[in-house]
């Protein structure tokens, strides 16, 4: 990469912004294809049992009703589990909608009513009578503590906890200061603003285009291809825009299955939209119980660390996430024991939700670290720096880069941490107790294989495509920046398109790997195209670049020029004109350089500082100030990256203070299944948030040096809020969310 | 959602007649609650009588020195009306503590009185609920009842009345004006909503077909010393866990008259005139407020998830009375009464 950067690292405005705010951006349920029918999903009112009978006849008599689909009449589909497994499915046997009479979780989709209009479909679905045979269900994970088991088969990316090191039990007992506590948080549902929906367009030749809400169009394409026996050319999946994902769109949702099934059966285009209530019927962040034991030596170094987690999974899949592993690598400690177990209950399989595992693990670890610092009489920042991990002890590898220490220092400085009185209840403002707390975290910097295509036309416009996604994070913008940078074109001349299986393949948009994976593919394809351009330029009469190699030229300001003699240049548009071609194209992929990467541990880190103000009498908590310092390699766009961290902080505040899906175990049903009672912050709950980027030079993670920013910002936020509440009130709350009554 | 027919009335008599001539008909004003309930299949009217063309949107002084609020004036127009802000700031504050600006722009004053409980089980047609389906049982008792009642409950129902506006109206002793098939009448605000008893499906004392046409506020508005304090799980767009409407008439530091109403704790705005009487002649001190709070919560009981409300309500009463006495915002009050 050349030294100057015209676009990378700049706060470029969202290139998709105008389309979004003017309504030109179309979402899955907005494709009004001709002759569209509407499907409404009927959900199970019971948690476990059997469907005895679906009384479709009266419903089918309603004018406008086209079909009622249930297990009784669903067409013959693929038989084997593997046909229903998507790229990111956990181990086990995937749920198959409408497959059998068995009910395995409350709100299970059990029928689809299709009609000429949405209104008729909704009415018909509301009166569809279904007879059930109920069985006893178990939905309370707290009663399953003794039934935890170590998962046999995790999903891709899951790492079993490393084996114990040192003498964690013995050293804990001997430690100068010790703590031992349980930490709990409830279930959370992603609830992106856009509801899950699929509009399947049925083409006259029997092929389909599914306009879907998904974080992975290829994942969905292979899913429906395998289930419905379609070739890839017969099933196109498109997601150009997405109103939030947070992981809920990593796996194909049942609106896709329902819509495609109905379209193929009725040979007609069908749209299926879920309701907000049904957004609580699938994957979620699992209810998790964590147990921490920490001990310190007299000098404030960690003597022993033990972290055990147990969370729910369904009866049919083993959902796994990395909850405890981080505790073995965030701090230097030679005596470590990490444990991880699942327990089965009658719910749907949990699903990755922003920073899966790490968001959870950092709650227990970082509240425990605060408790430990307090016990040992140390400042929480100082305590962490004393235990700074210079290497990844889980993997016995050096970090490719790690500037967490600078996050602590810069974050603390911006926050004014040195003015903190360490004593709880020591800071107040009238009838409010003021508390300052901090925490931090670590997240993977990973790269997956991805491909991209670039096409430069005679008018100098560049189109780059890759079937990745933009879930609101800024993918469109950063890819446009990268392409403009590497081909030296004005950014207005570059268009990046995504989310279509007609484009080169990209991995699901998740794991904070999109910038690294697709970004590198875009860089590579632009360089490929650059090489073709150079070749054409060299054919030009009197070309000043005749003898230049690719490394000797640079692409700047719409020109190809010699690095050492920038006056020797040709205009890119002239090259294309001279070539006689109407466009130049390149397509290539980028794969991680495993040789380089495997010798290092690659991670992003953060440190969060939080101020809370607590009404002493009433227990109301307001997070008045947050500073989040993030070290995530190179920042491609300081504006969209900042927005991502702002969103993370808001979510962290939400996790800490209000967010929880509450199950009534009598019914095995989530009861606050709407956005009125499933609380997330409103604007009035959010105050000052400052984001600090501690940039890292990292040539190992990937050629762009980016680590991804989608998840790391969430880590530690909830713990920091809890720690600040302790500092304010002297009350340690280990069960989130911290409702006001927990402080009464 | 059921199929339904719709008509709009241009005169009160027509509206009343139209509703009477249909089976399972409902009046609709702003529709901010009714449409939700219809989408959830909780309410299934076959006919809607649209009210928005009735001439009931005005707010004007009445001959007795009070103020008449039209039933169709929106919550927003009411809260920001100069006469309401000046003479009944408690009502303004309560309205603005409720819902969101968008909802307040749609919601009408009459509709605010008619809104139904936000009990999770009432809204979820897969679970038993005596209010939705009489005789089916109460799922909230023994279930998840964080937002439920602690006062005036029955074995049939522990749902709460969700309005903020109504808590202030109860404290201000408003009068509800109604028209019905048998003519016009007025209902004292305290008598408008009812306790669940063994008929929790009946929210209020309106007779079949009656329509709210307006609200009369008495001349006395307690504009000097008042507070509406709402405690909730987030700062806006959340129903009250506990809310307090407090209004004081002070002479020096002595309470001449007090009004106190609680929201989020019962099936109706909760008032206790014994407590208000006991406050008369007392000094406006923390000690007095604590005694009032204790007396107000006598007989309160929790049902598990909402046990905390008993203590929270006491503390909220003390704070609201303090705010009403001092009429200045402390650092925490800035958050509590921000009413975004």
Q: Which residues of A418-456 are buried (b: 16+ CB within 10 A; e: fewer)?
A: eebeeebbebeeebbbbbbbbbbbbbbbbbbebbbbbbb
Q: Do A679 and B236 touch (CB under 8 A)?
A: no
- Chain A hits for B118, CB-CB cut-off 8 Å, are 676-677
Looking at residue B339, its pLDDT comes to 58
Report CA torsion sign: B235, B241, B247, B251. negative
Size of interface A-B (CB pairs under 8 A): 107
- Chain A hits for B146, CB-CB cut-off 8 Å, are 662
Quickly tell me which residue has 């039934």 as its tokens: A147
Question: Are A87 and A163 in the same domain?
Answer: no
Q: Is B179 among the domain residues? A: no
Q: Is pLDDT of A153 > 90?
A: no
Return residues 40-99 of B near A (CB < 8 Å). 41
Under 8 Å CB-to-CB from B24, ≥6 apart: which residues? Answer: B44, B45, B46, B47
Q: Is pLDDT of A280 > 90?
A: yes
Q: Is B193 among the domain residues? A: no
Question: Are A361 and A254 in the same domain?
Answer: no
- Looking at A238, A255, A275, which one is the last position of a domain? A275
Give me the mean pLDDT over the A141-156 stretch. Answer: 90
pLDDT (tens digit, 9 = 90+) per residue, A255-270?
999 999 999 999 999 9
DSSP state of A149: B
Question: Are A472 and A548 in the same domain?
Answer: yes
What is the share, in percent, of chain A residues with pLDDT greater than 70?
99
Going by C-alpha positions, the residue among A165, A150, A698, A632 that lies closest to residue A394 is: A165
pLDDT (tens digit, 9 = 90+) per residue, A549-579?
999 999 999 999 999 999 999 999 999 999 9
Q: Is B196 among the domain residues? A: no
Q: Is pLDDT of A194 > 60?
A: yes
pLDDT (tens digit, 9 = 90+) per residue, A79-122?
999 999 999 999 999 999 999 999 999 999 999 999 999 999 99
Q: Is A82 among the domain residues? A: yes
**Does B290 contact chain A (CB < 8 Å)?**
no
Q: Annotated catalytic, A711?
A: yes
CB of B282 closer than 8 Å to CB of B250: no
B186: which strand partners? Answer: B177
CB of B177 closer than 8 Å to CB of B206: no
Q: CATH code at A43?
A: 3.90.1170.50
List the domain range (segments joined by +) for residue B32.
Answer: 5-50
Q: Is A15 among the domain residues? A: no
Quickly tell me which residue has 């000052």 as its tokens: A688
- Report which secondary-structure segment, H or E, holds A576: helix A572-579
Question: Are A309 and A434 in the same domain?
Answer: yes
- Looking at A591, A614, A629, which one is the last position of a domain? A591
Q: Is A26 among the domain residues? A: no
Question: Are A522 and A418 in the same domain?
Answer: no
DSSP per-residue letters across A368-437: HHHHHHHHHT--HHHHHHHTB-SEETTTTEEBS---HHHHHHHHHHHHTGGG---STT-EEETTEEEEEE
Under 8 Å CB-to-CB from A605, ≥6 apart: which residues? Answer: A402, A403, A404, A407, A440, A441, A442, A443, A630, A631, A632, A712
Q: Is A56 among the domain residues? A: yes
Q: CATH code at B301?
A: 3.30.390.50
Looking at residue B176, its pLDDT comes to 98
Residue ranges, chain B, pLDDT below 70: 338-340
**HSE of B205 in the Cβ direction (CA atoms, 13 Å)?**
14
Shortest CA gap B33–chain A (Å): 12
- Chain B hits for A615, CB-CB cut-off 8 Å, are 332, 335-336
For chain A, the residues whose C-beta falls within 8 A of a C-beta of chain B are 45-46, 119, 122-123, 126, 429-432, 613, 615, 617-620, 622, 657-658, 662, 664, 666-667, 669, 671-674, 676-677, 679-685, 739-741, 744
User: Among all residues of chain B, which has the CA nearest to that of A433?
Assistant: B332
Report the number of distinct structural domains present in chain A: 3
Q: Is A20 among the domain residues? A: no
For chain A, give percent helix, strand, coil, nearest 5: 30, 25, 45
Q: Is B67 among the domain residues? A: no
Q: Is B335 among the domain residues? A: no
DSSP per-residue letters across A668-706: TEES--STTTS----GGG--EEEEEE-----SSS-TT-B
Looking at residue B338, its pLDDT comes to 63
Under 8 Å CB-to-CB from B260, ≥6 apart: which residues? Answer: B171, B244, B245, B246, B247, B271, B272, B275, B276, B279, B292, B296, B317, B321
Q: Is B230 among the domain residues? A: yes
User: Three-state SS across A310-347?
Assistant: EEEECCCEECCCCCCHHHHCCECCCCEEEEEEEEECCC
Q: Is A12 among the domain residues? A: no
Give me the mean pLDDT over the A146-156 stretch. Answer: 88
Q: CATH code at A318?
A: 3.30.365.10
Q: CATH code at B30?
A: 3.30.43
Looking at residue A2, its pLDDT comes to 45
Q: Is B184 among the domain residues? A: no
ipTM of the complex: 0.97
Question: Are A243 and A156 in the same domain?
Answer: no
Question: Are A126 and A49 in the same domain?
Answer: yes
Question: Are A497 and A485 in the same domain?
Answer: yes
Give me the mean pLDDT over the A317-340 stretch. Answer: 98
Q: Do A677 and B147 touch (CB under 8 A)?
A: yes
Token representation of residue A55:
């009384």
**Does B231 contact chain A (CB < 8 Å)?**
yes
Q: Is B251 among the domain residues? A: yes
Q: Is A175 among the domain residues? A: yes
Report the number of distinct structural domains present in chain B: 2
Q: Do B331 and A122 touch (CB under 8 A)?
A: no
The band of A4, judged by pLDDT with boundaries at 50, 70 and 90, is low
List the domain range (segments joined by +) for residue A504.
Answer: 447-591
């Amino acid at each position: 990469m050349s030294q100057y950067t015209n676009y990378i690292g700049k706060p470029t405005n969202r290139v998709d912004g105008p389309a979004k705010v003017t309504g030109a951006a179309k979402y899955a349920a907005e494709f009004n294809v001709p002759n569209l029918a509407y499907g409404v999903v009927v959900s199970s009112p019971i948690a476990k049992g059997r469907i005895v009978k679906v009384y479709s006849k009266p419903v089918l008599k309603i004018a406008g009703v086209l079909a009622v689909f249930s297990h009784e009449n669903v067409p013959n589909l693929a038989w084997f589990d593997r046909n229903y497994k998507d790229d990111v499915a956990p181990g086990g046997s995937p749920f198959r909608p409408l497959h059998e009479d068995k009910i395995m979780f409350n709100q299970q989709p059990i029928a689809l009513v299709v009609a000429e209009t949405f209104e008729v479909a909704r009415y018909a679905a509301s009166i569809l009578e279904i007879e059930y045979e109920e069985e006893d269900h178990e939905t309370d994970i707290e009663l399953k503590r003794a039934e935890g088991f170590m998962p046999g088969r995790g999903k891709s990316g899951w790492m079993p906890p490393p084996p114990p090191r040192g003498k964690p039990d013995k050293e804990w007992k001997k430690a100068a200061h010790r703590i031992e506590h349980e930490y709990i948080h409830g279930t959370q549902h992603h609830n992106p603003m856009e509801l899950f929906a699929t509009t399947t367009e049925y083409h006259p030749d029997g092929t389909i285009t599914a306009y879907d809400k998904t974080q992975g169009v290829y994942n969905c394409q292979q899913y429906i291809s395998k289930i419905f026996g379609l070739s890839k050319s017969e099933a196109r999946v498109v997601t150009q825009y997405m109103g939030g994902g947070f992981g809920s769109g990593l796996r194909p949702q049942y609106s896709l299955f329902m819509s495609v099934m109905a379209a193929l059966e009725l040979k007609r285009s069908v749209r299926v939209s879920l309701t907000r209530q049904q957004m609580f019927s699938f994957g979620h962040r699992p209810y998790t119980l964590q147990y921490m034991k920490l001990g310190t030596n007299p000098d404030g170094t960690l003597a022993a660390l033990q972290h055990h987690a147990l969370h729910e999974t369904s009866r049919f899949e083993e959902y796994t996430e990395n909850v405890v592993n981080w505790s073995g690598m965030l701090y230097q400690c030679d005596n470590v024991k990490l444990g991880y177990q699942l327990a089965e209950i009658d719910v749907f399989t949990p699903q990755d939700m922003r920073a899966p595992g790490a968001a959870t693990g950092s709650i227990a670890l970082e509240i425990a670290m605060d408790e430990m610092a307090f016990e040992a009489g140390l400042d929480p920042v100082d305590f962490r720096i004393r235990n700074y991990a210079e290497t990844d002890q889980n993997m016995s590898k050096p970090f490719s880069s790690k500037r967490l220490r600078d996050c602590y220092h810069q974050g603390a400085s911006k926050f004014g941490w040195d003015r903190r009185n360490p004593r709880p209840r020591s800071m107040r403002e009238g009838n409010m107790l003021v508390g300052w707390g901090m925490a931090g975290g670590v997240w993977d910097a990973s790269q997956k294989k991805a491909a991209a295509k670039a096409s430069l036309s005679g008018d100098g416009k560049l189109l780059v495509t890759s079937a990745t996604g933009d879930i609101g994070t800024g993918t469109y913008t950063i890819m446009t920046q990268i392409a403009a940078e590497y081909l030296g074109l004005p950014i207005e001349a570059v268009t990046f398109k995504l989310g279509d299986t007609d484009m080169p393949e990209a991995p699901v948009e998740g794991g904070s790997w999109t910038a690294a994976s697709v970004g590198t593919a875009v860089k590579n394809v632009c360089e490929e195209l650059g090489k073709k351009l150079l070749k054409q330029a060299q054919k030009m009469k009197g070309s000043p670049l005749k003898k230049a190699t690719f490394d000797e030229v640079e692409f700047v300001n719409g020109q190809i020029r010699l690095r050492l003699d920038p006056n020797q240049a040709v205009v890119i548009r002239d090259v294309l004109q001279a070539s006689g071609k109407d466009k130049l194209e390149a397509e290539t992929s980028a794969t991680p350089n495993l040789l380089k990467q495997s010798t290092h541990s690659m991670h992003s880190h953060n440190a969060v500082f939080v101020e809370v103000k607590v009404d002493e009498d009433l227990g109301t908590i307001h997070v008045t100030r947050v500073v989040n310092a993030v070290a995530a390699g190179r920042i491609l766009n300081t504006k969209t990256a900042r927005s991502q961290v702002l969103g993370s902080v808001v979510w962290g505040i939400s996790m800490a203070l209000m967010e929880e899906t509450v199950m009534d175990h009598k019914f095995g049903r989530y009861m606050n299944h709407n956005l009125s009672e499933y609380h997330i912050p409103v604007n009035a709950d959010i105050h000052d948030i400052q984001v600090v980027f501690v940039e890292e030079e990292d040539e190992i993670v990937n050629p762009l040096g980016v680590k991804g920013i989608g998840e790391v910002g969430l880590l530690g936020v909830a713990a920091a809020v809890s720690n600040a509440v302790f500092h304010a009130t002297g009350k340690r709350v280990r069960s989130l969310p911290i409702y006001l009554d927990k402080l009464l | 959602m059921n199929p339904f027919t719709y008509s709009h009335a241009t005169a009160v008599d027509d509206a009343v007649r139209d509703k009477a001539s249909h089976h399972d008909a409902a009046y609709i004003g702003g529709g901010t609650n009714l449409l939700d309930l219809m989408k959830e299949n909780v309410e299934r009217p076959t006919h809607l009588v649209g009210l928005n063309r009735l001439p009931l949107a005005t707010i004007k002084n009445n001959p007795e020195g009070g103020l008449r609020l039209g039933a169709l004036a929106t919550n927003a127009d009411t809260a920001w009306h100069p006469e309401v802000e000046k003479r009944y700031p408690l009502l303004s504050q309560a309205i603005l503590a409720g819902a969101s600006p968008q909802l307040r722009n749609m919601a009408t004053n009459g509709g605010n009185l008619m809104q139904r409980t936000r009990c999770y089980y009432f809204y979820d047609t897969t679970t038993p609920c005596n209010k939705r389906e009489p005789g089916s049982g109460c799922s909230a008792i023994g279930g998840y009842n964080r937002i439920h009642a602690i006062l005036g409950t029955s074995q049939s129902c522990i749902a709460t009345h969700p309005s903020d506006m109504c808590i202030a109206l109860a404290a201000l002793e408003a009068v509800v004006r109604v028209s019905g098939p048998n003519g016009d009448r007025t209902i004292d605000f305290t008598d408008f909503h009812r306790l669940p008893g063994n008929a929790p499906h009946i929210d209020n004392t309106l007779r079949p077909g009656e329509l709210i046409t307006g609200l009369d506020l008495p001349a006395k508005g307690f504009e000097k010393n008042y507070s509406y304090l709402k405690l909730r799980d987030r700062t806006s767009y959340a129903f009250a866990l506990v809310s307090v409407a407090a209004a004081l008439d002070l002479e020096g530091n002595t309470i001449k008259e007090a009004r106190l109403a609680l929201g989020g704790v019962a099936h109706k705005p909760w008032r206790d005139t014994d407590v208000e009487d006991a406050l008369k002649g007392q000094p406006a001190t923390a000690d007095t407020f604590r005694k009032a709070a204790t007396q107000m919560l006598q007989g309160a009981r929790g049902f598990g998830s909402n046990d905390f409300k008993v203590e929270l309500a006491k503390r909220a009463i003390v704070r609201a009375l303090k705010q009403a006495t001092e009429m200045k915002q402390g650092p925490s009050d800035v958050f509590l009464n921000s009413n975004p």
